[in-house]
Homo-oligomer: A and B are copies of this chain.
Amino acid sequence: MSVIATEKFQVITNALQALREQKPLVVNITNYVVMNNTANALLAIGASPIMAHSRQEMAEMMSFSGALVINIGTLDSQWIPRMIYAVEQANLNNKVVVLDPVGCGASTLRTETSRQIAALANDLIIRANASEIIALAGETAQSKGVDSLDSSEAAVDAARYLTETYHCNVVISGEVDYIINAENEVTLHNGHVMMPNITGMGCSLSALTGAFAAIGEKTGLAAAAILGVAGEIAAEQSAGPGSLQMNLLDVLYQLDADAINTRLKMTVK
């Protein structure tokens, strides 16, 4: 590994160790489909999920939590003001916000809400697939529902535009993951073709991104590297997506620096 790659590897494994020691609380306002997976992914890696959305308790929840994850997967007019209020509370408490703009580009509602949240959060990480990143940046996306039709590479310029517009870090996930911020770009080449056959894999990545941000790793690198490696190991043990969903939690629970070291395929620009 190059010096800078070795340094990045250290960032990842140190973050994993810190997360397991600190067990950060992560508030999730996420969609109905993946709430269970998201909570379980956070528990499996060693974090403490809080699934809460009421404005009557959000100020309290954000005061003692480490990060906020906003996922718009099952959006409606009732959830939007809850999300906005939660981001405001995160801002007041200087907590990082992870935005997962599920289906951005598939409807005007999703595109506009994603931009509203991105503009509001003071300390922001955006985690999305290529179609969503392109749509969020305002280009014409080839969106097909909530799945991405574009390769991650096609979204890199859009992601750079987002980092400048919202002063944020961006993670484009896909066959190749791009970790993009003002300083540098990292690409990750782990994962498995079976991973998109489970719902909520991207949502789990956003949740883990929040957990690592809560202990200070705000680039999104540690979460993407760890989920990529864990997904790859889990998929190799799995006959199909049902097994993969189960094995992924087991592998996240067991994962150590050695497994990351053996598997990680990373390039740094």
Which residues of chain A have a CB within 8 Å of any CB of chain B?
25, 31-37, 39-40, 43-44, 48-54, 56-57, 60-61, 64-65, 73-77, 103, 106-110, 144-147, 196-200, 238-243, 245-254
Contacts and interface: CB of A to CB of B under 8 A. Distances in A.
Residue among A39, A51, A245 with max Cβ neighbours from chain B (10 Å): A51
Contact of A33 (B51, B108, B144, B200): B51
Copy number of this protein in the oligomer? 3
A204 B107 CA distance: 26
Contacts of A241: 40, 43-44, 249-250, 253
A74 B57 contact: no
Given A52-B74, A103-B52, A144-B25, A243 B246 contact: yes
A109 to B, nearest CB: 4
Nearest to A248: B242
A43 B244 CA distance: 13
A51 B40 CA distance: 21
Nearest to A74: B51
Contacts of A77: 54, 56
A57 B108 contact: yes
A33 B39 contact: yes
A201 to B, nearest CB: 10
B60 A107 contact: yes
A240 B249 contact: yes
B51 A197 contact: no
A247 B57 CA distance: 35
A241 B252 CA distance: 9
B251 A240 contact: yes
A145 B48 contact: yes
Contacts of A199: 36, 39-40, 43, 49
Given A37-B36, A51-B73, A57-B110, A250 B254 contact: no
Given A36-B37, A77-B56, A43 B109 contact: no
Contact of A32 (B51, B61, B245): B51
Contacts of A103: 50, 52
